[in-house]
Amino acid sequence: MNALARLDSHLKSRLEDLSKAKEHGHKIIGYAAGGFLPEELVLACGAIPLCFIQAGDNAVLRNSAAYVCRWFDPFWRSQVGYLTSGKDPYYNIVDLIVVPITDNHVRAFSNAVGFYTPEMRSFVFGVPHVKDKVALEYYRKGIGRLRKELEDFTGAEITGSRLKQSIELCNRERELFRNISLMRKRRNVNVSGRDFVALHHGSFLADKEIMIDILEQFIKEADDDDPLFSGNAPRILFTGSTLARGDSKVMDILSDNGGIIVMEEFAEGIRPYRNMVQVEGDLIARLAEAYFMDRICPGWFRPGTERLDFLIELAEEYRASGVIWYQLLYRESYKVESYFFPGILRKRAGIPMLVLESEYDAMETGPMKTRIETFMETIRG
């Protein structure tokens, strides 16, 4: 069985496995996407982390309309829809929901958890938008409070040695994702965007050790396989706010038009994998540095130029011939940047950018196809 088939098979039995784990006293900790929750803390107290990453179904958005106003990001409205409708079984199995709040859209979800499912225990901490010492300290205190909450909830102490072990485990997963990503720098690429994204999405739900094994297998298979794409295919840097599990339309259209994604950069849907967490000294401080300070968050923290420079660096490093910017309707911070970034990108990297916007709506596929097809033609010249 190849690595992706193994992942698929593991996820098929995952809910059953989680139920059994619960029977054996393990707590299941669900958390909001965005990459600001150190899974190490959850693992270090013997609990199981699960990230809510499903979206893309318009029917779930309609469910959410009774609970949250329409002018919120459809991904976060979807989370409210799943929470209140029970349509995502992972919401039904968790014992505690943790929400690191980065913006108002995430806050709307955290409010929904508290208000509409008061029986569900939840924990919230804030993520600042400015990268300085004060903000780092604020974030460090937030995850410090989370540590205490997890210890109280599970009854297990997060000792230094257990936390170190968990960090090493998560570092291994990050390292493997990084190695796969580096393979995509090659001229003849042998890892498709869809497979890389499927691994990320799977990793938010899978057992950590099994996932590491699957990633190791995937690397071996990819190395042995012939290239999937010729050197002439347009190479795309795919970026934006959210790439949910269940929302593959852009990737599908792009692939149908002969494009190849060589890099994905999303706040929700792609696990941060570039920075390793150091395992010396105050480990909570090390987690804060890696998850908050060192990570260049797709969420346009200040200074915004850091993010712009990073995207241009990625485009050059991965020899992208174009950028597809996929934003969700009403996620205004991305919308703001999407106005001026194409000009900067063209000037500094000499490549074009296509902006696409979605509300998980069936009618948007046609115009999206027209835009992507034309964009591919623009790149090919």
Q: Can you give the binding site for other proteins, defined by CB under 8 A? A: 339, 342-343, 352, 357, 361, 363-364, 366-367, 369-371, 373-374, 377-378, 381
- The minimum distance between CB 257 and other proteins, in angstroms, equals 9
- Give the whole-angstrom CA distance, residue 249 versus residue 266: 16
Residue 216 or residue 357: which is nearer to other proteins going by CB?
357
- The minimum distance between CB 335 and other proteins, in angstroms, equals 11
The two tokens of residue 1 are: 């069985």
- The minimum distance between CB 56 and other proteins, in angstroms, equals 17
- The minimum distance between CB 292 and other proteins, in angstroms, equals 34
Q: How many residues would you count in the chain?
A: 381
Q: Is 67 exposed, middle or buried (0-12, 13-18, 19+ CB in 10 A)?
A: middle
- Give the whole-angstrom CA distance, residue 39 versus residue 168: 12
Contact between residue 88 and residue 120 where contact means Cβ atoms under 8 Å apart = no
Residue 161 or residue 374: which is nearer to other proteins going by CB?
374
> 98 — phi, psi (to 5°)?
-110, 130
- The minimum distance between CB 265 and other proteins, in angstroms, equals 22
- The minimum distance between CB 376 and other proteins, in angstroms, equals 9
- The minimum distance between CB 374 and other proteins, in angstroms, equals 4
Residue 161 or residue 378: which is nearer to other proteins going by CB?
378
Residue 256 or residue 317: which is nearer to other proteins going by CB?
256
- CB neighbour list of residue 122: distance below 8 Å, 6 or more residues apart: 96, 97, 98, 99, 110, 113, 114
Residue 101 or residue 368: which is nearer to other proteins going by CB?
368
Residue 188 or residue 370: which is nearer to other proteins going by CB?
370
- The minimum distance between CB 291 and other proteins, in angstroms, equals 35
Residue 34 or residue 240: which is nearer to other proteins going by CB?
240
- The minimum distance between CB 256 and other proteins, in angstroms, equals 11
Name the β-bridge partners of 177. none
Residue 127 or residue 354: which is nearer to other proteins going by CB?
354
